[in-house]
Chain A
Amino acid sequence: EIVLTQSPGTLSLSPGERATLSCRASQSVISSYLAWYQHKPGQAPRLLIYSASSRATGIPDRFSGSGSGTDFTLTISRLEPEDFAVYYCQQYGSSPLTFGQGTRLEIK
C-alpha cells in the first residue's frame, strides 16, 4: 500500500498570498497518477488536479500541480477567499487507492 504524507498539516495564509502544499509517497506513484481535491465543510470534495499536473474542467489556472515519483506539490498562486478549505492528495497508480491525511488551509 502506498502511504501518502501531506505537509504541512495546517497552513495559515492571507488572501493574495501563494500557497504550496506537499504530498510525499512512500513509494513511487506509477505514471504520476496523483490527484488533488479541495473539500469544504458540508460540500462534496472537488477534483482539482489529475495526473499530477492536469487541471480538471472548470478549475481556475491559479491552481497548479507538479511533481513525479514520490514528491508532488499543489500550488495556489494567489489565494482567493473561497480557496480556504482542506486539500487532499490521492494516488490511483495502484490498489488500494489511498489518500493523504489532508492539509487544512486557513485564513491568517
Chain B
Amino acid sequence: EVQLVESGGGLVQPGRSLRLSCTTSGFTFDDYVMHWVRQAPGKGLEWVASINWNSGGVEYSDSVKGRFTISRDNANNSLYLQMNSLRPEDTALYYCAKGWGGLVITSWFDPWGQGTLVTVSS
C-alpha cells in the first residue's frame, strides 16, 4: 500500500523558515515525480511545487518562487519543502502527493498524504 506521511508543520512567525518532510513507502520512490499542494483555511487546492525523479526538473508556483525549495532524497524515500521568508498567506494545510511517471513534471496527484498544517502568525 502506498503511504505518504507529512511532518514538520507548526506555528511560525512571519519572515521565519520551516522545513516540511514527506516520508513515503509502498512504491519505488525514485520512479516518480513528487508534488506539494496546499489548502488555505476555507479555500481551494493550490499547487505549490513539483520535482522529477532525479531532481533535474523542478517547478514552483509564482506565489512561492524564490522563497520555497523542493528537494528529495531518493535513498531515504523522502520529499522535502524548505519554506523561507514565510508570510501569513502561506498559512495552509500542506499535502505531498505522488505524480505519474518520473520525468515530466506535469501530472495528476495520486495518492495524497493527510497533510501537515503550517500557521504563519505573530
Contacts and interface: CB of A to CB of B under 8 A. Distances in A.
A72 interface: no
Main secondary structure of the interface of A (DSSP, over half): loop
Interface string B24-46: 00000000000100000000111
Contacts of A96: 47, 59, 61-62
B106 A90 contact: no
B111 A44 contact: yes
Q: How large is the interface on A (under 10, 10 to 19, 20 to 34, 35 or more residues)?
A: 20 to 34
Interface string A31-50: 00101010100011111001
A37 B108 CA distance: 10
A96 B65 CA distance: 12
B105 interface: yes
A64 B54 CA distance: 34
A35 B108 contact: yes
Interface stretch (A10-18, A20-28, A77-85, A99-107): A99-107
Interface string B89-119: 0000001000010000111111111110000
Interface of B: 35, 44-47, 50, 59, 61-62, 95, 100, 105-115
Interface of A: 33, 35, 37, 39, 43-47, 50, 56, 88, 90, 92-102
> A-B pairs with the 7 shortest C-beta distances?
A47-B110, A44-B112, A35-B108, A97-B47, A92-B106, A99-B45, A50-B108
